[in-house]
Amino acid sequence: MTERAPAKVRARAEIDLAALRANVRALREHAPGAAFMAVVKADAYGHGMIPCARAAREAGATWIGTATPEEALAVRAAGIGGRVMCWLWTPGGPWREAIEADLDMSVSGMWALDEVTAAAREAGRPARIQLKADTGLGRNGCLPADWPELVAAAVAAEREGLVTVTGLWSHFACADEPGHPSIAAQLTCFREMVSFAEEHGVRPEVRHIANSPGTLTLPETHFDLVRPGIAMYGISPSPEIGTPEDFGLRPVMRLSASLALVKHAPGGLGVSYGHHYVTPGATTLGLVPLGYADGIPRHASGTGPVLIGGKRRTVAGRVAMDQFVVDLGGDEPVAGDEAVLFGPGDRGEPTAEDWAQAAGTIAYEIVTRIGARVPRVYVDDADNADDTDGADDVDDGGAARE
């Protein structure tokens, strides 16, 4: 991330690190009594893991969270200190490296406890583990029926000096659906599973269950630590619970491209594969050099919104692998003019949420899928930042990606 951005690039995803820091601060105000874990899995939801992890740290995130151990090890390899936790392990995973890198490792079942204790024995030092309870998500984590066995084995391993149980934690299924009965049920279950573990000798440093919607709307879920992901990137977890502005958040990613071609077209011209769009009369067409290889959803064919020359246009016909077309209705922007797919939304451009609705998905998927072929350009607007390093750096897919 040291090269200058070329004056014109095919496409770019600008990442506003000042906005990210401001979002972290806003989220910390929503949960003032809790520690903050910045979730940067999946290349920070497409925003670039290392720059985002650093920015979150600067704004007060004392924990960094990833899904895979490889992601967490990459955070450490970039020289980022402090606590780093990862939770998606599979048998044969890099336990020993994780112990030596001082990671906190989630353990959801006996196979994982067996592997981590074996690695701790080899490493000659204890592993920091956090026991994950399945309180009703029905995905990863230990179900209540299996909890006594896991807790007893973890306590025994701790007495042998092989592990330190640093946390007890869980994850919500429906925290973004206000009033969903599973929220209260999961909280009750979590409290019971935590109490059981504590009664049997676990002394966790942190107990945690809150994701973005929990952090924003459910103070009773904050416990010792909150783990927001999507909200840190300035996107509401669900339009149902509010807009980013409602929560004091600002979208961090702005995706744009240079028009590759503008041309006059006659009426009756079939546009893009399958001819699902036919020009209704003489018009102008603009070619946007982004496609599903770049993460533009093919499901947004005929529906995705784009801002060109101050006007909202719509994807005409199919999104192809590398490009799509918009009908410019006779306007004549020139090749090289900017097409903005999404951004914060305050300069007329669509938002990632608009694309999610156009494609029948969630905004998480829109930003996370933006592909490796799109350079991330880090901007740090000094006007919005109180700790900017003033850098406008481009990351062409090397350093910050795993």
Residues at the annotated binding site for substrate?
139, 321
Non-local (6+) Cβ contacts of 17 within 8 A are 51, 52, 55, 252, 378, 379, 380, 385, 388
DSSP string, 178-211: TT-HHHHHHHHHHHHHHHHHHHTT---SEEEEE-
How many Å is the maximal CA-CA distance in the chain?
A: 79
Non-local (6+) Cβ contacts of 357 within 8 A are none
CB of 201 to ligand PLP, least distance (A): 25
Measured from the CB atom, the residue of 133 and 230 that comes closer to ligand PLP is 230
Binding residues: 139, 321
Measured from the CB atom, the residue of 174 and 399 that comes closer to ligand PLP is 174
Active site residue 41: yes
Task: Single out the catalytic residue among 233, 263, 273, 292.
Answer: 273
CB of 65 to ligand PLP, least distance (A): 6
Measured from the CB atom, the residue of 12 and 41 that comes closer to ligand PLP is 41
Report the residue number whose CB is nearest to ligand PLP.
Answer: 229
In the chain, DSSP finds a helix count (H) and a strand count (E) of: 11, 20
CB of 41 to ligand PLP, least distance (A): 6
Measured from the CB atom, the residue of 13 and 249 that comes closer to ligand PLP is 249
Residues that bind ligand PLP (CB under 6 A): 39, 41, 67, 87, 171, 211-212, 227-231, 237
Torsion of CA 235, 241, 246, 251, to 10 degrees: 10
Task: Single out the catalytic residue among 41, 132, 292, 364.
Answer: 41
CB of 362 to ligand PLP, least distance (A): 10
Active site residue 292: no
Q: Are 401 and 43 in contact (CB under 8 A)?
A: yes
Q: Are 191 and 209 in contact (CB under 8 A)?
A: no
DSSP string, 315-353: EES---SS-EEEE-TT----TT-EEEEESSSTTS---HH
Residues marked active site are found at: 41, 273
